[in-house]
Chain A
Amino acid sequence: MIIQKQKAFEDILKSLEGEQKVFLAGCADCAAACKTGGEEELVEMKARLEAAGKSITGTAVFDTACQLGAVRQKAREYEQAIKEADSILVMACGTGAQTIGETLEKKAHIGVDSLFVGQVNRLGKYTERCSTCGQCVLEAFEGICPVTRCAKGLLNGPCGGSKGGKCEIDPEKDCGWVLIYKKMEALGKLDKMRAYQPAKDQGSRHTPRQFTWPKKTPEGIKK
């Protein structure tokens, strides 16, 4: 899930400066789960913007704001309200905001900061587990990702900055390498710690990334 938080309301207002009529867009996926742009948050944002003197031409929670086709289809229901608006305020991730902006050909403002791809521990607490590096190394590390969970992304063992199982950058954060070491020790697989890990091919992280199926519909995949 794309973990996200709302931008400060003053910053949102500032981005809407000079625009009177606003259409509000949210997303039923990550944004709803992170309470940044689900139904409730849009109702609240509408009230706050109206109190600040804006008029809201309509609100829509897209099922998946990053999916071009779905956004285009859903937008048809709101054609008039979107047309009337000076701009759209998107309460969803950066991909959602750009998808909506590109699809609806309307100036789209972003109302949230996208933080990371994360795990939902509970409502209001999220942690990063994967940096989408493009070459998963979990198998080599017994299911704990050093690329993400070590603050330095080290592949060949811990630095000297670990203390009491915590990381030098923050005593609240676990040292990823202590987690890996303890797990390997418990599994009797410490020998795996000895394997040299070559430098990662960072080509798979060069942005802008794109991925296209080699064939339009590969065998075995039903559309």
Chain B
Amino acid sequence: MSKLEQSLAAGHFTFTGEVGPPKGVDLHHVMEGAAVMKDKVVAINVTDIQTAVMRLGSLAVSAKLVEAGVEPVFQMVCRDRNRLALQSDLLNAYVLGIRNVLAITGDHVVKGDHRDAKPVYDLDSVQLLKAATILESGSDMGKDFKGRPNKLEGAPKFFKGCVVTPCSDMVEAQILKLEKKVAAGAQFCQTQAVYDAAAFEKFMNEVRRRNIQIPIMVGIVVLKGLGMAKYMNENVPGVVVPEPLMKELSETPKDQTKKKAVEVSARLIKQMKPMCQGAHIMPLGWDDTVGQIVDAASA
């Protein structure tokens, strides 16, 4: 059982962090980032070619974290691999010691730096969760020549995660899909960034009303200032930084930006702590803030 699974099963309010692999092969920054936050979080997500910008992969960096004694959450997007490669990478992950996987649709290639690439999406995130569940049962998605399910030589076992966007303007459709993810095998959920505790409460009430019982970890993207908040409001679907918070950020002196980021993140987590089972902190490179946020939110 992964530490993440154990922590959530034990009912501890659980923190996860996140690192983004570099564009290139210099692991220095990403390993340093993981080292900075590892004692404050239970596991660290490794993003998978995030925003469709070509870079070092999630699998390799997740394996490097395992080597370094840090528990990774291996993020997998559906954009870049067909079902053969996705299933194979799940097996690869298992033999490399990776136990937490997170199924994500993935931003479209037009959002990234290889806009002329062919997007794959052979499976969607629900089907990817199902694929992982099938692998755990000792089979795969294929059939042998007699039409029977293939048998695996040794089956993996994962702690399978999914994502949801609580502040989406189509939140009802998001919750319907979350139900399907759970039915397909999702055991935990990390959300898209949330900055509005009231909206999150409404979302969580609806989730529990639907009897969705998996642990939900609220997502917090560390706000690196007013510019970033504005950018998220304008460009990131399903992320809303409310007006009072915008005002607060606008009144923050430049040299206090990082301090404010920690304060805001910790305050939000404290507000939402009674509603959910953990927090997933996405520092976007401000790796040193993660520990400070965890400490402040736990105080």
Binding site for B on A (CB under 8 A): 151-165, 168-170, 175, 177-178, 181, 190, 193-194, 196-199, 202
Contact = CB atoms under 8 A, between A and B. Distances in A.
Contacts of B40: none
Contacts of B89: none
B64 to A, nearest CB: 28
Contacts of A197: 126-127
B3 interface: no
B122 A199 contact: yes
Contacts of A193: 173, 176
B288 interface: no
B180 A156 contact: yes
Contact of B105 (A159, A181, A194, A202): A159
A155 B125 CA distance: 10
A100 B136 CA distance: 53
Given A152-B105, A169-B111, A177-B173, A196 B126 contact: yes
B198 interface: no
A161 B78 CA distance: 14
A156 B238 contact: no
A140 to B, nearest CB: 14
A196 B184 CA distance: 8
A163 B169 CA distance: 7
Given A151-B108, A152-B108, A158-B173, A163 B238 contact: yes
B179 A194 contact: yes
B163 interface: yes
B165 A160 contact: yes
A157 B237 contact: no
Contacts of B172: 181
A122 to B, nearest CB: 26
B177 A157 contact: yes
B137 interface: no
B123 interface: yes
B170 A168 contact: no
Contacts of A159: 105, 125
B183 interface: yes
Contacts of B201: none
Given A152-B108, A154-B121, 8 more contacts: A151-B119, A154-B124, A155-B127, A158-B170, A177-B173, A196-B180, A196-B184, A202-B122
Q: B83, B119, B176: which has the most chain A beta carbons within 10 Å?
A: B176
A153 to B, nearest CB: 5
Contacts of B78: 152
Interface string B88-124: 0000000000000000010110110000000101111
7 contacts: A152-B105, A156-B126, A157-B174, A158-B174, A162-B237, A194-B180, A199-B130
Nearest to A160: B165
B192 interface: yes
B83 A168 contact: no
A190 B179 CA distance: 13
Given A156-B180, A194-B180, A161 B107 contact: yes
A135 B237 CA distance: 31
Contact of B107 (A155, A165, A168, A170): A168
A157 B173 CA distance: 7
A156 to B, nearest CB: 4
B237 A168 contact: yes
Contact of A199 (B79, B105, B123): B123
Contacts of A163: 169, 237-238
B231 to A, nearest CB: 14
B154 to A, nearest CB: 23
A160 B192 contact: yes
Nearest to B82: A202
Contacts of B119: 151-152
Q: A151, A156, A177, A197: which has the most chain B beta carbons within 10 Å?
A: A156
A160 B174 contact: yes
B85 interface: no
Nearest to A195: B180
Contact of A178 (B107, B170, B183): B170
Contacts of B173: 157-158, 177-178, 181, 193
B168 interface: yes
Contact of A155 (B124, B237, B238): B124
A133 to B, nearest CB: 12
Contacts of B164: 160
Nearest to B127: A199
Contacts of A181: 170, 172-173
B121 to A, nearest CB: 5
Contacts of B125: 156, 159
A32 B97 CA distance: 60
Q: B172, B177, B179: which has the most chain A beta carbons within 10 Å?
A: B177
